[in-house]
Amino acid sequence: MFELIDANIAKHITLSPQELDHFHSFLHVKKYKKKQFILQAGETSHFQGFITKGCIKNYILDEKGHEFIMYFALEDWWVGDIMSFYERKPGNLFIETIEDTELLTIDHQSNEQLLHDIPQFERFFRILIQRSAYTLQQRFFNTLSKPAEARYLEFVKKYPQVVQRVPQQLIASYIGVTPEFLSKVRAKLAKKSSKTEAGS
Amino acid sequence: MFELIDANIAKHITLSPQELDHFHSFLHVKKYKKKQFILQAGETSHFQGFITKGCIKNYILDEKGHEFIMYFALEDWWVGDIMSFYERKPGNLFIETIEDTELLTIDHQSNEQLLHDIPQFERFFRILIQRSAYTLQQRFFNTLSKPAEARYLEFVKKYPQVVQRVPQQLIASYIGVTPEFLSKVRAKLAKKSSKTEAGS
DNA sequence: CGTCTATTTGAATGTACTCAAAAGCGGTGG
DNA sequence: CCACCGCTTTTGAGTACATTCAAATAGACG
């Protein structure tokens, strides 16, 4: 039950068996069916989640109702609206399942208690946020500096499991183009690679 | 000397006078002339800085040598390449002064000591990173969902001091357009507002 | 005042978008 | 088991926002 999350935490901090047990005592299991909301914009996020099974998308909606996907998350990822969770006010993120999904969650009060009882978690979550901020920065840079084709190829290389599991239109949203345009990019790539392979 | 940084920290955590003194003992003053590098891509960042005077730009260079500005920082802002600093490996960020600048800095070893001696700082830096991650996320969303004109107007509204102090081409880089195009955007805005004012 | 840099202007071009329609694909019920 | 329905992906034509390159103008500083 806790193998995955324990291994995840062990990547950055080292806890005693007692501390681990204490940590586990704060966690709850939450289950969602496909296409359910875990969080909606306007709500205050009452928990952070760790995915033990399934797949979700985290996105913002603009005025016209277009989805802008901030990230996908599969097993072994943490999900949540960090600002809403820590500042205890309504956020602007949607979190929605793409498949049936199971989370381990920790609510706000438990989290405060955890940070107090095991200060190492303060460090753990700092590292988590730091890395996600870095990833976002790189992605922002890529989006401004590289054409859609390069961004798509990098996405496929970096997240092959996601490509298998989520519809193409969501990947279009992630890399920052319309579904129609991604389709055209892929058509061009297919033509290119068929040319290359035609060297018989 | 430490008034500004103490007030900055007091926004998020509360320290005793002794703890503050202890914190101050870790700090050093660094001074830079205009257009000097504080950090270059490929270097490992050995310190985090807090600006007491001046103005800097933090940017990434693409293969063609185009600058992509991640953020500007003035007095009362923290600057650094967080990933490089904490992971102790070469980063890809440039930090360069736009004006003569003075920093209070804390080096890596002192930082570790500080986090150990006053664990509240672990929380402080987590909050800092959290907020910058949030800001970056909003900006990324804006860049994908809104036209350049709207992004420019929001920038002017949000950072009026920066508009006064940095050349326009750098603002173009920040909002994600070429200097030429920002110039055209401004020309159109000027025409619009002159029309509005012509209702005499 | 002259030089160097920043900004503006213009023409041609390109990357990606919008809208509309067709084709593909998967699940479900008759 | 096949036919149909809904949803996703593809294709195409026209358009828009922003880029590139080149040149002119304006500003800042010694």
Q: What is the Cα–Cα distance from B171 to B179, expressed in whole angstroms? A: 8
Query: In chain A, which residues touch B (CB < 8 A)?
Result: 60, 62, 66, 68, 70, 82-83, 86, 115, 119, 122-123, 125-127, 129-134, 136-137, 139-141, 143-146, 176
Q: Closest CB to B133: pick one of A119, A132, A143.
A: A132
**SS3 assignment, position A108:** helix
**Residue B63 pLDDT:** 85
Domain count across chain A: 1
Q: What range defines the domain where residue B193 resides?
A: 146-200
State chain A's mean pLDDT as an integer: 94
B61 and B124 co-located in one domain: yes
B126 and B178 co-located in one domain: no
Say whether the CB atom of B191 is under 7 angstroms from strand C.
no
pLDDT tens, A140-182? Answer: 999 999 999 999 999 999 999 999 999 999 999 999 999 999 9
* pLDDT over 70 (residue A131): yes
* pLDDT over 60 (residue A200): no
B34 and B70 co-located in one domain: yes
**Residue B196 pLDDT:** 62
pLDDT tens, A71-101? Answer: 999 999 999 999 999 999 999 999 999 999 9
Rounded-to-5 percentages of helix, strand, coil across chain A: 50, 20, 30
Q: What is the Cα–Cα distance from A6 to B73, expressed in whole angstroms? A: 38
- Whether residue A99 is contained in a domain is answered as yes
- Contact yes or no for B59/B67 (Cβ under 8 A): yes
**Residue A192 pLDDT:** 77
B132 and B198 co-located in one domain: no
Q: What is the Cα–Cα distance from B167 to B174, expressed in whole angstroms? A: 11
B61 and B93 co-located in one domain: yes
With a cut of 50, list the residues of chain B below it in pLDDT: 199-200
Which of B44, B23, B13 lies closest to B126 in space, CA to CA? B13
Q: Which residue is closest to B129 within chain A, CA to CA?
A: A130
Q: How far is the CA of A169 from the C1' of D17 (A)?
A: 22
Q: Closest CB to B136: pick one of A137, A145, A176.
A: A137
- Would you state the structure tokens that stand for residue A51, as one six-digit string? 């995915």
- Whether residue A127 is contained in a domain is answered as no
B49 and B116 co-located in one domain: yes
The amino acid occupying position B170 is L
B137 and B157 co-located in one domain: no
- Contact yes or no for B78/B128 (Cβ under 8 A): yes
B17 and B93 co-located in one domain: yes
- Whether residue A110 is contained in a domain is answered as yes
- Whether residue A141 is contained in a domain is answered as no
A42: exposed, middle or buried (Cβ count in 10 Å: 0-12, 13-18, 19+): exposed
Contacts of B102 (CB under 8 A, 6+ apart): B29, B30, B31, B32, B51, B52, B53, B54
| Chain B contact set for A125 (CB, 8 A) | 126
CATH (domain of B8): 2.60.120.10
- Whether residue A35 is contained in a domain is answered as yes
Say whether the CB atom of A187 is under 7 angstroms from strand D.
yes
B92 and B163 co-located in one domain: no
Which of B92, B86, B101 lies closest to B36 in space, CA to CA? B101
B18 and B112 co-located in one domain: yes
**Residue A199 pLDDT:** 45
Alpha-helical runs (H) found in chain B: 3-10, 17-25, 82-87, 108-117, 120-145, 148-158, 160-165, 168-175, 179-197
Per this entry, what is the length of chain A?
Answer: 200
B183 and B140 co-located in one domain: no
- The sheet carrying B37-39 orders its strands as B37-39, B94-97, B56-61, B67-73
- Whether residue A134 is contained in a domain is answered as no
B62 and B46 co-located in one domain: yes
- The sheet carrying B28-32 orders its strands as B28-32, B101-107, B47-53, B78-79
